[in-house]
Amino acid sequence: MMRLGLRSFIFGVSATALLMGASPSQGQGVTEQDILNDATTTNQVVSYGLGPRAHRFSPLDQVNAENAKDLVPVWSFSFGGEKQRGQESQAMVYDGVIYVTGSYSRVYAIDAKTGMELWQYDARLPQGILPCCDVINRGVALHGDMVYFGTLDARVVALDRKTGKVVWRKKVDDYKEGYSITAAPIIVNGKVIVTNAGGEFGVIGRVRALDAKTGDVIWERPTVEGHTGTLNGEPSTMTGKTNATWPGDMWKWGGGAPWNGVTYDPDTNLIFTGTGNPAPWNSHLRKGDNLYTASQLAIDPDTGEIVWYFQNTPNDAWDYDSISEVIPFDMEVDGKTIKAVASAQKNGYFYILDQADGKLVNAYPFVEKISWADGVNADGSPKFIEDNRPGDPSQAADGKKGSTVWVVPNFLGGKNWNPMAYNPDTGLFYIPANEWGMDMWNEPVSYKKGAAYLGSAFTIKPVFDDYIGALKAFDPKTGDIKWEYRNVSPLWGGVLTTKGNLVFTGTPEGHLKAFNAETGEEVWSFQTGSGIVSSPITWEMDGEQYIGVTSGWGGAVPLWGGEVAKFVKYLNQGGSFWVFKLHKST
């Protein structure tokens, strides 16, 4: 459903501007070159991650570590209604219009100067959707004069950028089985690349490429062994080999959902994605490595073929999805510059792989007191501490509950979906990490379509008494933490870094914060009224630099209790988009 309206609170905008409203954008549309150049273009944001490699680095430096203290709000737009749940969207900016999604599969187009709503689309979800971890959406993709996004009932929708009207809508999976889409799509070579969620329901993970003009599926790549992909409507190749690393029929409902989307390196023409947990969580039921779950994949965007894989956690027993964004970057190794990819995974280790073949370059811990493994072998396999694998319930006296173990990190991870940023000036990655663990045990479980498929239970707890969240400036060459900002509650939002020697991120307490990228000194903070669990952006308009962020507490963290609940139980939900710029003295 699309509607027009006005719902905005304006700071410093004249009444005349409010009454005149805003006209739909008159641009010629977002081109492939616009997307490829997004990392260096300053007057727009047309890709998820500020460029296909998702460095989340802006060359803008008008706002810098010296003057960031002078940032003030320009306007705030309310998403309205009663749908005040987790707001994890990264906004896009093009031709004077901001495109941002809200919870429950909604899209808004907002005038970037005034904060006035131009149009809104509401997917009108059916009853019975099965989102794992809140009714969130992480953003749209732009291409031509279209806006693309995925919905919680497993559809991909293309909207007219100027009117918000539906151009095409495609069902790609059955939500009644547990499928959904929460990740922002990306555009590669005229294709809309989308990924599904739902691993907790025993669905099969898939990466798909849809024709941007028609919505037709060009290729489909399953991320669990034994399933066959498609190309141009015909069966293509099988992913792996049936039963090679899965026992019996377990591969048929094996999980592996690549639910956090993909990145792209145009130099090598490869897309990269992480894959989710194998199903069920109880690892004793699925002896073997369980490819290609808890892995990083390089995929040919033209054919959907897997070029290489790297499995971070074979036979995962702790819900250590490898869904953290896989970031291509150039790195010097032994005096030579190689094309690498980096990721900070839920299992607590930061991995650097050679982009050419997926071989391990280095792996370092980025959180403290990791208890499930004692480092990583030269080939990338973890050095498991088997005593910290939850016990087999079939070996228990009552057959109902396996032995309990204390595990760090917990299943929400050393880092979860919330994207880190890479600053080429400092050479550092800025990781929104969390220091927490869990008591975990296994239970019997069997697969039933549309039902939760875990076979495990847990109680999450903080590792330290005074903080959980930790924004860390991480050196990929040495594994050193250069500086760290500690937050009482978990960090669940993304990071932005800029040429102005700044790092921005938000907190569940509602603050958007700016830090000196070199020293970690906090140089600015603003209270947005609800928790920030989204990714900030920046752009230039009329000669001034703007910062934008979505505010609205939610996501996975408040859905789980344990001792962490006391850190977040007082936080209020919301739904708004805030814009800031430097104060002009008169």
DSSP 380: S
Sheet strands side by side (includes 336-344):
327-333, 336-344, 349-354, 360-365
Question: HSE on the CB side for 154, CA within 13 Å?
Answer: 25
Encoding tokens for residue 43? 């007057």
- Are the C-beta atoms of 301 and 188 separated by less than 8 Å? yes
From residue 421, give the alpha-carbon distance in Å to each of 51, 54, 537: 12, 8, 11
CB-count exposure of residue 232 (10 Å: 0-12, 13-18, 19+): exposed
> What span, in angstroms and rounded, lies between the C-alpha atoms of 552 and 365?
31
- Are the C-beta atoms of 263 and 326 separated by less than 8 Å? yes
Mind giving me the DSSP string for 254-273? -B---TT-EEEETTTTEEEE
From residue 353, give the alpha-carbon distance in Å to each of 339, 350, 472: 9, 10, 20
Choice among 34, 319, 357, 387 that is catalytic: 319
Encoding tokens for residue 280? 């069920």
**Residue partners of 19: CB distance under 8 A and separation at least 6:** none
From residue 217, give the alpha-carbon distance in Å to each of 192, 209, 488: 9, 6, 45
**Residue partners of 179: CB distance under 8 A and separation at least 6:** 130, 154, 172, 173, 196, 197, 198, 201, 203
Closest CA to 238 of 250, 222, 254, 252: 222
Q: Is omega for the bond preceding 280 within 30 degrees of 0, making it cis?
A: yes
Please tell me whether residue 363 adopts helix, strand or coil conformation. strand
Please tell me whether residue 92 adopts helix, strand or coil conformation. strand
> What span, in angstroms and rounded, lies between the C-alpha atoms of 84 and 576?
9
- Are the C-beta atoms of 320 and 345 separated by less than 8 Å? yes
Encoding tokens for residue 410? 């917990």
> What span, in angstroms and rounded, lies between the C-alpha atoms of 434 and 249?
36
- Are the C-beta atoms of 99 and 92 separated by less than 8 Å? yes
CA 33, 36, 38, 41 dihedral sign is negative
Active site residue 134: no
> What span, in angstroms and rounded, lies between the C-alpha atoms of 584 and 564?
42
DSSP 388: G
The helix (run of H) or strand (run of E) holding residue 373 is strand 373-376
Long-range contacts of 9-12 (CB under 8 A, 24+ apart): 9/75, 9/76, 9/77, 9/78, 9/115, 10/75, 10/114, 10/115, 11/72, 11/73, 11/74, 11/75, 11/76, 12/74
Residues designated as active site: 319
